Amino acid sequence: MARMQPKSIAVFNSNDIYPISADATLPFEQHRDIFYLSGADQEETILVLFPDAIDAKHREVLFVRETNEHIAVWEGEKLSKEKATEVSEIQSIYWLSDFDKVFFDLMTEAETIYFNTNEHYRQAVELQTREDRFIMACKQKFPAHGVAKSFPILQEIRGVKEAEEIALMQTACDITEKGFRRLLSFIKPGVWEYEIEAELLHEFVRNRSKGFAYTPIIASGNNANVLHYIENNQQCHNGDMILMDVAAEYANYSSDLTRTIPVNGKFTARQKAVYNAVLNVKNEATKLLVPGTLWAEYHKECGKIMTSELLGLGLLDKADIQNEDPNWPAYKKYFMHGTSHHIGLNTHDYGELKTPMKANMVFTVEPGIYIPEEKMGVRIEDDVVIQESGAPFNLMKNIPIEVEEIEELMAK
Ligand code: GLY
Ligand code: MN
Ligand code: MN
């Protein structure tokens, strides 16, 4: 609210519940902005922020769907007004049915309305969201108001995590660790990728996670070379490695882990060389995540570190580097995705990318080397918190990563 213009109002809507067909729906997933700002994890909720409201009780208002005994029997407990105050610390709670009347009144005091459009750098949404519908209706009903964007403010504040958020992300990472450790004694030749998925889900859910933070990638052998492989329906073979990009959510916060391990518990010399090259890049890249680093420069540095590892593995030679296209450097043949992204309430979270990094931003570090001609792909991914000074704090520091550690645990 401190960042809003004078006499302005901001509105945040819940997500829709996505219909499948007939009466079936997908489970509800709250829009992360209204959740971040209010803690309300319920459909059909609207948050209104109006710092200059004449009546102080209208500076923060939450509208929730009216609940009753019938809804309680069929759907369970929904937010009562008291409960809504408890989760949000907002004193003014109205039923959603009062929204049009109350909102019209507030708009007569406001000059500008902040709309929450989705400007995430990776967004590719074709559906009309509840927020989109609200914006369209609002523009029609209040054509004389000025408009402003909430996204840049949310992007900035959500990008720098509070201590409470980092604690929740640590819990998500700890649950992920339990899942991964369970796999080390489970994976062996003949196991199917979906059996691994089932083991993880079991471990996540029994630890009070709702499940995977994103669609899991469980890619044995050559499947690892399909970056977004999510079929997870193949058998794991002796002599192959398996790349697993799998992690738990907790309290709507994501963790994001990748480990690549040998199906039979022992890396071959070549697998170990490629693995340790990726691990080196990860370790060196992590050191660059300090306040002041620019994301674009960081990625250039990561490219240089990767180039040197690829030379060492014999995948590139000096001529490849001399002749490289600066817009598509030679290393991209084997490492074609980014090294880091912000993580938080979204796996690919909000967060400034064009301004210098700040303490308490949380990033993944996830280099990979993909070699289809050798039917192998290795990626290693941890989540780290930038510190005021010194190296970042690794939220996944307890998750086995060294070759020897993984082999020892798999041998048990
Ligand atoms: N699992 C998604 C990512 O690593 O970005
Ligand atoms: Mn990942
Ligand atoms: Mn990631």
Which pLDDT tens digit goes with each residue over 232-272? 999 999 999 999 999 999 999 999 999 999 999 999 999 99
Say whether pLDDT at 72 is over 90: no
How remote is the CA of residue 95 from the centroid of ligand 1, in Å? 38
C-alpha 247 – ligand 2 centre gap (Å)? 8
Question: How far apart, in whole angstroms, are the C-alpha atoms of residue 399 and residue 401?
Answer: 6
- With 90 as the cut, is the pLDDT of residue 151 above it? yes
**C-alpha of residue 70 to centroid of ligand 2, in Å:** 42
DSSP 8-state secondary structure symbol assigned to residue 241:
E
Q: Express each pLDDT in 395-411 by its tens digit.
A: 999 999 999 999 999 99
Which ligand 1 atom sits nearest the alpha carbon of residue 247?
Answer: 1
Task: Please measure the distance between the N-terminal and C-terminal CA atoms of the chain and give it in whole angstroms.
Answer: 55
User: What is the value of pTM for the model shown?
Assistant: 0.97
pLDDT digits (tens, 9 = 90+) for 171-200: 999 999 999 999 999 999 999 999 999 999
In short, whether 383's Cβ falls inside 6 Å of ligand 1 is: no
Fold of 8-158: Creatine Amidinohydrolase; Chain A, domain 1 (3.40.350)
Domain limits of the chain? 8-158, 160-411
DSSP letter, residue 14: P
pLDDT number for residue 250:
98
% of the chain with per-residue pLDDT over 70: 100
145 pLDDT exceeds 90? yes
Task: Return the pLDDT at 60.
Answer: 98
- Assign domain 160-411 to its CATH architecture: Alpha-Beta Complex (3.90)
Interior angle at CA 376, CA 374 and CA 378, nearest 5:
140
What pLDDT, on a 0 to 100 scale, did the predictor assign at position 75? Answer: 85
Amino acid 76: pLDDT: 87
What digits encode the pLDDT tens for the residues 282-310? 999 999 999 999 999 999 999 999 999 99
Question: What pLDDT is stored for residue 319 in this prediction?
Answer: 97
CA of 245 relative to ligand 2 center, distance in Å: 5
Share of the chain above pLDDT 90, in %: 97
- Phi then psi for 13, rounded to 5 degrees? -105, 150
Task: Report pLDDT for 69.
Answer: 86
Please give the mean pLDDT across all residues of the chain: 97
Structure tokens at 377: 């792909």
For residue 176 and ligand 1, the question of a CB distance below 6 A is answered with: no
Residue-level pLDDT at 27: 95
Mean pLDDT of 127-150: 98
Phi-psi region of 375 (alpha: psi -120 to 50; beta: other; left: phi over 0): left
Q: Please indicate whether residue 347, judged by its CB atom, sits closer than 6 Å to ligand 1.
A: yes
